[in-house]
């Protein structure tokens, strides 16, 4: 999917009440397709640094090796090649009548955008939301997403019309950036993000705001959305329904804990290679995050995987595991809810470091504090983020 991991919401102070849902134009179901963008940042260390920064407020610390490696190359970019890399795919969203390409992120709960109140030095090349056209300022409301290294974004809040796939929220909270760090400025294809985690971690003060999904949820045929990410080509999101043409077999559901505001679940055993007979366990909590590029797992699992890859090693100059470009990577199999799902080895061959070395799509979650099933995994499944039951659940099925 996208080459840059997007910013996520910080865990907001407990006790804030959520703003009342905004006015809606009802529609029972809709689909929004992603679009391929021409340029992405393909860099393994940068992915690791951004993921750790994303969850810094939950205790994640950036590994020193990865930080040093990213600093050396963070401004680099390559032309996207959908045959080789997972390029950047963004979804067109109408915000106040202006079309912006936003990253849909199940690891955050803010809808924030580049805007005309963002300094030009920080927003050149981005499509910008102009709140003066149709927005209503929510006086005194602010948002601020910051990280351990000082990077982040902040700004003011407006109520405006937001349209996604034909569904309209006439008074959705739109967070207009007045300050954006260089990490976001550099990715000129990405005009902001649309958070799809739980509204409990929305960062707006003095009153948290609802996500777009929570706003439109009462009007949907079913209170759920499904994610169909693809390797090397555009995928799509379905809201309010499950598209049976997107998967084969049955859907396996697993309970979700909302305690931390994420789509958090428990993974089971795993195996490496052609055998889908799993053993051991993936310790710790796991989350499903469309806004994270890689698959982050416990050290023991990562080491077990790369032990099966010829020439693989932990490379301190890259801050992660690398391997010769000639290596054939084995599949990674994981048991979730009693069903084994397979990530093809070709998906784990993430991006080139040099002409002879690749950076791995599976890396350690040790510095994060929990496991992240990012796009490397999600491209292998059809994923359903479901609130149709008494408690939320995640569904996974094999892609068709």
**What is the residue-level pLDDT of the chain in tens, covering all 400 positions?**
333 333 333 333 333 345 544 455 556 777 877 766 654 445 687 788 778 878 877 888 888 877 676 655 432 222 112 223 554 468 889 999 999 999 899 999 999 999 999 999 999 999 999 999 999 999 999 999 764 444 678 999 999 999 988 888 889 999 999 999 887 888 888 899 899 999 999 999 999 999 999 999 998 889 999 999 999 888 889 999 999 999 999 999 999 999 999 999 999 999 999 999 999 899 999 999 998 889 999 999 999 999 999 999 999 999 999 999 999 999 999 999 999 999 999 999 999 999 999 999 999 999 999 999 999 999 999 999 999 999 999 999 999 9
**Rounded Cα distance, 233 and 229, in Å:** 8
- At 258 the pLDDT is 98
- pLDDT score of 36: 61
Whose CA is closest to 50, among 156, 114, 145? 145
Structure tokens at 150: 């000082």
Give the C-alpha separation, 397 to 174, whole Å: 33
Q: Which two tokens stand for residue 134?
A: 């149709």
Residue 183's closest CA among 143, 144, 153, 142? 153
Q: Are 164 and 91 in contact (CB under 8 A)?
A: yes
Give yes or no for a contact between 57 and 69, defined as CB atoms under 8 angstroms apart.
no
Task: List C-alpha distances in Å: 322 to 76, 286, 354, 360.
Answer: 19, 24, 10, 6
How many helices (H) does the chain have, and how many strands (E)? Answer: 9, 29
What pLDDT does residue 137 have?
Answer: 98
CB 108 within 8 A of CB 50: no
289 is catalytic: yes
Cis peptide bond N-terminal to 391, omega within 30: no
In this structure, the number of other CB atoms found within 10 A of the CB of residue 46 comes to 26
Helix (H, G, I), strand (E, B) or coil at 283: coil
Which listed residue (103, 191, 289, 386) is catalytic? 289
pLDDT at residue 308, rounded to an integer: 98
């Amino acid at each position: 999917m996208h080459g840059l991991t997007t910013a996520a919401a910080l865990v907001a102070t407990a006790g804030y009440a959520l703003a009342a849902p905004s006015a809606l134009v009802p529609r029972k179901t809709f689909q929004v397709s992603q679009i391929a963008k021409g340029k992405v940042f393909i860099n393994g260390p940068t992915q690791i640094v951004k993921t750790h920064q994303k969850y810094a407020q939950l205790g994640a610390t950036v590994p020193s090796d990865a930080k040093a490696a990213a600093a050396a190359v963070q401004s680099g970019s390559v032309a996207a090649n959908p045959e080789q890399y997972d390029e950047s795919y963004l979804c067109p969203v109408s915000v106040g009548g202006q079309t912006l390409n936003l990253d849909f992120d199940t690891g955050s709960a803010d809808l924030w955008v580049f805007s005309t109140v963002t300094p030009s030095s920080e927003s050149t090349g981005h499509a910008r939301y102009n709140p003066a056209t149709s927005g209503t300022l929510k006086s005194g409301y602010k948002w601020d997403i910051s990280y351990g290294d000082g990077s982040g974004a902040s700004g003011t809040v407006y109520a405006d019309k937001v349209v996604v796939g034909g569904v309209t929220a006439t008074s959705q909270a739109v967070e207009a950036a007045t300050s954006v760090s260089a990490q976001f400025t550099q990715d000129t294809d990405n005009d902001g993000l649309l958070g799809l985690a739980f509204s409990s971690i929305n960062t707006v003060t003095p009153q948290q705001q609802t996500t777009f999904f929570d706003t439109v949820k009462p009007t949907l045929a079913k209170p759920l959305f499904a994610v169909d990410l693809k390797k090397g080509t555009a995928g799509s999101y379905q809201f309010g329904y499950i598209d049976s043409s997107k998967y084969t077999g049955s859907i396996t559901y697993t309970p979700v804990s909302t305690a931390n505001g994420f789509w958090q679940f428990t993974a089971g055993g795993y195996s490496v290679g052609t055998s889908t007979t799993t053993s051991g366990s993936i310790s710790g909590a796991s989350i499903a995050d469309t806004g994270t590029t890689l698959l982050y797992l416990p050290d023991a699992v990562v080491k077990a995987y790369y032990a099966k890859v010829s020439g693989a090693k932990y490379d301190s100059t890259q801050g992660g595991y690398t391997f010769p470009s000639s290596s054939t990577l084995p599949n990674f199999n994981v048991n979730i809810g009693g069903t084994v799902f397979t990530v093809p080895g070709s998906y784990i061959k993430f991006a080139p470091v040099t002409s002879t070395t690749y950076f791995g799509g599976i890396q350690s979650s040790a510095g994060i504090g929990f496991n992240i099933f990012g796009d490397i995994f999600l491209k292998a499944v059809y994923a359903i983020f479901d609130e149709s039951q008494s408690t939320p659940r995640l569904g996974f099925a094999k892609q068709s």
